[in-house]
Structure 1
Amino acid sequence: MDQIPLALAWRKSSKSAQQDNCVEVAALPGGGRAIRDSKDPNGPILRFASSDWQSFVRSTKSGGFDNLGC
């Protein structure tokens, strides 16, 4: 798998306000996304291909994760 670029434009949801318990997302070349824990910006990064990210967003918007019992 390709290396993740060092200089990414990380952002977190506007719904998170100033809370620290958030994930941050950054666009990758080719349309994929990188995800990290905002409390540990130097920690692990998850990487998603464009098609996987689009599927996740569609499922989230349609309520696909609403009944996970969390």
Structure 2
Amino acid sequence: MPQYVRIVGSSDISRNHVRIEVTGGVVVVSDLHSRNGTDIVMPGRPPQRLRAGEPTAVMPGTVVDLGSGIAFTVRR
């Protein structure tokens, strides 16, 4: 069942900004055509902007940045 996370206090991120799924033990992040995009930083790699609607597999330690100072790190 999907679980929605509500982020309170920021009007600068999209209402439906990003989807995080675990598929076969792999974490997959997809930007949901958000207004300002989603950036990720995988360990040992430069930051990259996700392509809207394109699922991207990430590894533990990846930082997902939604903008406006709102970010989280993927953990095991």
- Bin of the TM-score, shorter chain as denominator length: 0.3 to 0.5
* Greater helix fraction, Structure 1 or Structure 2: 1
> TM-score if structure 2 supplies the norm length?
0.37
Say which structure, 1 or 2, has more relative contact order (CA 8 Å, 6+ apart): 2
* Greater strand fraction, Structure 1 or Structure 2: 2
Larger Rg: 1
> TM-score if structure 1 supplies the norm length?
0.39
